[in-house]
Structure 1
Amino acid sequence: MGFMNSNIVLISLPAIFRGIGINPFNSFQYLLWILFGYSIVSAVLVVNLGRISDIFGRVRMYNLGFLIFTIASILLYLTPGKGDVAALQLVIYRVIQAIGGAFLMANSAAILSEAFPPRQRGFALGLNGVIGIFGGVAGIIIGGILASIYWRDVFLVNVPIGILGTIWSMKSLKQLSKPDRNQRIDLPGNVIFALSLILILIGITYGILPYGNQVTGWSNPYVISSIVAGLALLGGFLFIETKVPDPMFRLELFKIRAFSMASFSIILAQLALGGLQLMLVLLLQAIWLPLHGYSYAVTPFWAGIYLLPLLAGFGVMGSIAGKLSDRYGARTLSTIGLVILGIGLLFLTTLSYNFNYVEFATIIFLMGVGNGLFVSPNNAALMNAAPPKHRGSASGIRAMFTNVGSTLSIGVFFTIVIEVLYLLLPSTFSSALTSLGASQLAPYMEKIPPTAAIFAAFLGYNPVSAIISQLPANVAGSIPPSVINVVTSNTWFPSVIAPSFMQALRIAFLSAAILSFAAAITSALRGKMVVYEERMTEVKEQKRTN
């Protein structure tokens, strides 16, 4: 349900924005919050909820997550407003949905780790990931179909799944270990950690948006203050956690080398890959699909279809790699997977904007295979290394690193792309329009914020048509109809921006490849396989022998 919902929203955003009457040129901050709000709230809550689940019971918290997620889906379906009011309502309801999702994410790996013996956890977690991928594929297809019928239906599809999931989990899931009710909730730690992450992630989100005459907001005093204050609070949080008797963030887990290296590998890998799918979606929607005859209105759906090899690669390898890790450990498999990812990112830097799809599909399929090789064994290694009573915390830490790394990655990718486009697009537009004999249009085209142009294409709008519709009457009347037809065609805008866009993407892909190789080095340093139950058995045997 979680994976499906994520892709349904991604594919259906054009229909949602048209349904509530939002102009993407003036309101792309809502797009950011509908996309990022879910990730930010999940990142903030998963560690807290994982810790609370260790105290009150993981199954109970997991069931509550299903219920909250379902209620939020109903609210999203019923969104009563229009325009900005409706956009704010969608953001709020997505935040509520993220709370339910955080309950699920914080506990799923812990429940599976508790239910399966140590030498079967890799297979169980891998199969869980594969099922999530099936949900993602279903989300692309179902989202495309439902968005073409009625935008509200994209949220309604979660409701029967959520109701069945709630009933099924309440009837079938049993708490296998007794919750430790003697532990206290670390209230100061929870509050300070939440505030620190909120400030950091909000600062990153607004850093992508324009500020004054600047194309991004990284010089915005509020952005700088938000990030600095968040980092300061995070430092204070880590200090507090060393002083309280029952800390929320179990820092002692990081003394276990297998756990700490697995965690650091996750955040480095997510920094490399968290923004990848969104960048590939933009490449397809803004450039490749229009150049191959697809109208902007249908590009969101077809972008999802053309990215299926990425999900298929993960689906093929996820459960296989998990099963192999049960026998051979995670170090070799996860490290090889990250190397494959890095090589795939390097191959992406060699593509032209009008690439051969078979070549593109092969590269992203291999990257999916590499991701499957990394994720399942790495998650199993992380959960195996944690003591059973702290597996809720361990699962929350894993999910938090995943969400934070992904959000940071999107911020980094977007910043690279927007800054490069800001430098290159004005002269590119000027030259292209002058050659058409429409130089009077150049000052207006040059003023298009790269953020607005990218988000308009992402939402299935032709950015040039939107600009033409807003021109002063005297300027619009001076442009020959033949020129209007050329510049508003499906191919003119992508052809003009493609060289600059690909230059920006190559920088982003190269940076991601470096991060992926850094994650591979970190993974290789994790040491031998550690299974907590087996280690405790060895300790007991040593004591008995002594």
Structure 2
Amino acid sequence: MKDHTTVRMLEPGGGRTSRAARKRGGEGGPRYKWVVLSNTTLGMLMATINSSILLISLPAIFSGIGINPLAPGETNYFLWLLQGYLVVTATLLVTFGRISDIFGRVKLYNLGFAIFTLGSLLLFLAPGSGNTAALELIIFRLIQGVGGGFLFANSTALLTDAFPVHQRGFAMGINQIAAILGSIIGLILGGVLSAINWRFVFLVSVPFGASGTIWAFLMLRETVTNRGHHKIDWLGNLTFAAGLTILLVGITYGTEPYGSSSTGWSNPFVIGSLVGGVVLLVLFVWIELRVSEPMFRLDLFKIRMFAAGNVSGFLASVGRGGLQFMLVIWLQGIWLPLHGYAFEVTPLWSGIYILPLMGGFIVIAPLSGWLSDRFGARMFSTTGMLIQAVGFLGLTFLPANFDYAWFALVLVMLGVGQGMFAAPNTIAIMNSVPTPHRGVASGIRATFQNAAIVMSIGVFFSIITAGLASTLSAALLRGLVQENVPLSIATTISHLPPTSALFAAFLGYNPMATLLPASVLHHLPPPNQAALLSKSFFPNLISSPFMVGLHAVFYLSTMFCLIAAFASLLRGQRYIHESTSA
């Protein structure tokens, strides 16, 4: 990889713009960059609201369509509603980025807004009930994922096209703040809307999407034209999409129990998916090295800044991707019930108690982006990863029932670290590539990030599940028998799969109220009933084995952050690609 030190200040869009485009308010208009920032920020806000609002509304959604996600055979619906959007988006990002480079980033960004809005409307109108409705919701979420793929593949490229070099990091920081604010707004909206009607959870995205679609159509202009004849690498697209999809599906099902095992990593289907996915991705690389117009543009990895930025971004996402998921389970399954919160309200309060994580990011992200415009990304991104490593290590010192002041302090540290890393790393990647390839570069960056998040959730969830599997059954049996539950019933319940226990905590259910037959519960003495249904019975049972797995996850995250910091350090000095034409 070449170590470039030359910095050349490019004109605001980084490419040539026709006189007609300038008259329409394109790159030549001084306010156009703010139009692009506001529209892409709206897209980011919509996407993140949609994500967090779903997390907090899943109990209301499952109740509304009439299924129990913890029942045997039903957990797949929970997994795919949670993970399906990420899997589809990760699979399509590079393809959409390359197509956008050929046919126009604005056109396909607009299309993404429209498809996302259509998916939201279909989710609101889903007509079925029971398993049929669950399948409809999953399909419509996948449609949303297609729209999200177009949005994510192009928003970063559009910002890079529109802003001059010395303002790109600041613009990226503002854009990423929208993602954090969207997460906060989604938690609040989810708590309010799901209490009224679960369908409103999906309806809220429709006005955002419709206004964004119209605004993008009227205001955004193609500022970079990729002229000439281009071929679409169909074989490369097919092998990449199939390989990554099969691989991520295997990782997703690896979290499900199989036979007597608490996880599914020994499942022949999972093993076959992992092997088949890797084989197809190796075949994809072989194809890309031989076609005249490759989809993935492997030659971009010869640019030191691009390669180091993507490697560090991937490692950072693996280390941090499952963080919110793990923290939510910790809060909802143990800490909040032990502090007197009813299981039904723990989803909302877990979001509120995680706010320090977002606060640290909001304060630091635009500042680090602005400073990286002047001093480069290496110092900020590397330091950010080191701060995150210290934060993850700090979490391992907290007990299950922690003092919130220390918990909040560590969350602020993690947010600051991510804020220092995210915007500088992203804009360094985008600055390093030629103008005509910004779409595919944005797609590659986002693919690494989204695929890493799916991998992170799958692997980390499996580690925690393995920790629970070692002692949960004996703890449940002992606790139930002590409360006078008949031995036969207690034995049956004690074989509860660890994944069901974690899903129950994540969804804000009291597992004992779900698992104990009503006839058995009502025949128990009132003190035993009260103890079994109390806020402390189940959390106290799972806290010790859960923390063993959770600490292992945090140690692993620390390691990934340290390696990411090293990869970030290798990016070399500040480098901005010199090409000024498309």
Q: The TM-score by the shorter chain falls in which range?
A: over 0.9
1:500 aligns with 2:545: yes
Whichever residue aligns with residue 278 of structure 2, its letter is: L
The unaligned stretches of length 5 or more in structure 1 are 538-546
1:251-286 per-position Cα deviation (integer Å, ceiling 9, x unaligned): 010000110000001110111010010010111111
Pairing 1:156–2:203 present: yes
Structure 1 position 432, deviation (Å): 2.8
What is the one-letter code of the residue matched to 1:531? Answer: I
Does 2:464 align with 1:464? no
Amino acid at match of 1:491: S
- Of stretches 358-367 and 321-330 in structure 1, the one that deviates more from structure 2 is 358-367
Q: Is the 8 A contact 1:421 1:500 kept in 2?
A: yes
Q: What's the counterpart of residue 525 of structure 1?
A: 570
Contact 2:522/2:529 (CA < 8 Å) preserved in 1? no
> Structure 1 residue 428 and structure 2 residue 475: aligned?
yes
Aligned equivalents of 1:169, 1:135: Cα separation in 2: 19
| 8 Å CA contact 1:383, 1:391 repeated in 2 | yes
Corresponding residue to 2:235 among 176, 181, 188: 188
Asked if residue 337 in structure 1 is aligned to residue 384 in structure 2, the reply is yes
Residue 14 (structure 1) aligned to one of 56, 59, 71? 59
1:384-415 Cα offsets, whole Å, 9 max, x none, are: 00110000000000110010000000001100
Indicate whether 1:452 and 2:497 are aligned. no
Per-residue deviation, 1:308: 1.2
Deviation at 1:185, TM superposition (A): 0.7
Alpha-carbon offset, residue 437 of structure 1: 4.6
Is the contact between residue 61 and residue 198 of structure 2 (CA under 8 Å) also seen in structure 1? yes
**Residues 470 and 545, structure 2, Cα contact 8 Å, conserved in 1:** no
Q: For the aligned residues, what is the CA RMSD?
A: 1.4
**Partners of 1:195 and 1:345 in 2: how far apart?**
34
1:255 aligns with 2:302: yes
Q: State the 1:208 CA deviation.
A: 0.5
**Greater share of helix:** 1
Secondary structure in 2 aligned to 1:297? helix
Instruction: Specify the alignment match of 2:191 in structure 1.
Output: 144
Aligned to 2:27: none
Tell me if the contact between 1:14 and 1:300 (Cα under 8 Å) persists in the aligned partners: no
AA aligned to 1:511 is: L
User: Is 1:289 equivalent to 2:336 in the alignment?
Assistant: yes
Which segment drifts farther, 131-140 or 153-162?
Answer: 131-140
CA contact (8 A) 2:329 2:505 kept: yes
| Post-superposition CA distance 1:84-118 (Å, at most 9, x none) | 11110000000000000000000000000000112
- Is the 1:122–1:322 Cα contact (8 Å) retained in structure 2? yes
Structure 1 segments of 4+ aligned residues over 3 angstroms from their partners: 433-439, 475-481
**How far did 1:436 drift?**
3.8
- How high is the TM-score relative to the length of structure 2? 0.90
Structure 1 Cα separation of the partners of residues 394 and 471 of structure 2? 24
> Is the CA contact 1:54–1:180 (under 8 Å) kept in the aligned structure 2?
no
User: Shift in Å at residue 476 of structure 1?
Assistant: 5.4
The offset of 1:181, in angstroms, is: 4.7
Distance, in Å, in 1 between the alignment partners of 2:77 and 2:340 is: 29
* Length, aligned pairs only: 532
Which residue is 1:542 aligned to? none
Distance of 2:521 and 2:428 partners within structure 1: 63
Match of 2:278? 231
| Equivalent residue number for residue 375 of structure 2 | 328
CA contact (8 A) 1:125 1:376 kept: yes
**Is 2:418 aligned against 1:374?**
no
Describe the shift of the 1:181–1:43 C-alpha distance in structure 2 as closer, same or farther (beyond 3 A).
Answer: farther
Partner residue in 1 for 2:491? 443
Match of residue 356 from structure 1: 403
Compute the displacement of 1:480 (Å): 3.4
1:301 is displaced (CA, Å) by 1.1
Deviation at 1:500, TM superposition (A): 1.2
2:292 alignment partner in structure 1: 245
* 1:381 aligned partner, one-letter code: A
SS at 2:70 equivalent: coil
Q: Match of 1:316, as an amino acid?
A: V
Question: Does residue 302 of the first structure (1) align with residue 349 of the second (2)?
Answer: yes
Is the contact between residue 264 and residue 522 of structure 1 (CA under 8 Å) also seen in structure 2? yes
Q: Is the 8 A contact 2:159 2:168 kept in 1?
A: yes
Aligned twin of 1:179: 226
Q: Indicate the SS of the match to 2:235.
A: helix
Determine if contact 1:387/1:532 at 8 Å carries over to the other structure: yes
Inter-partner Cα distance in structure 1 for 2:201 and 2:114: 18
Letter in 1 for 2:66: G
Quick one: which amino acid aligns to residue 266 of structure 2? S
1:137 positional shift: 1.4
**Structure-1 residue corresponding to 2:21:** none
**Alignment identity in percent?**
50
2:170 counterpart of 1:103? no
Measure, in 1, the Cα distance between the counterparts of 2:526 and 2:226: 72
Decide which of 101, 108, 126 is 1:54's aligned counterpart.
Answer: 101
Residue 318 (structure 1) shift: 1.0
Match of 2:116 in 1: 69
Q: Which amino acid aligns with 1:285?
A: Q
Work out whether residues 208 and 217 of structure 1, in 8 Å CA contact, stay in contact via their aligned partners in 2. Answer: yes
Read off the aligned partner of 2:50 and give its amino acid letter.
Answer: N
Q: Which amino acid aligns with 1:104?
A: L
Amino acid at match of 2:493: M
The residue that corresponds to 2:17 in the other structure is none
Q: Distance in 1 between matches of 2:355 and 2:130?
A: 33
1:336-363 CA-partner distances (Å, limit 9, x unpaired): 0001111100011111111111211111
Could you tell me how far apart the structure 2 residues matched to 1:438 and 1:138 are? 43
475-484 vs 302-311, which deviates more?
A: 475-484
- Partners of 1:8 and 1:467 in 2: CA distance: 27
Residue 502 of structure 1 aligns to a residue whose secondary structure is: helix
Letter of the structure 2 residue corresponding to residue 16 of structure 1? I
Report if aligned partners of 2:483, 2:532 keep a CA contact under 8 Å in 1.
Answer: no
| CA distance 1:71–1:181, change in 2 (3 Å) | farther
TM-score (norm 1): 0.95
Could you tell me which amino acid in structure 2 is paired with residue 133 of structure 1?
Answer: I
- Looking at structure 1, the residues matched to 467 and 178 of structure 2 have their Cα atoms a distance apart, in angstroms, of 38
Q: Which amino acid aligns with 2:539?
A: P
* Cα distance between partner residues in 2 of 1:416 and 1:301: 26
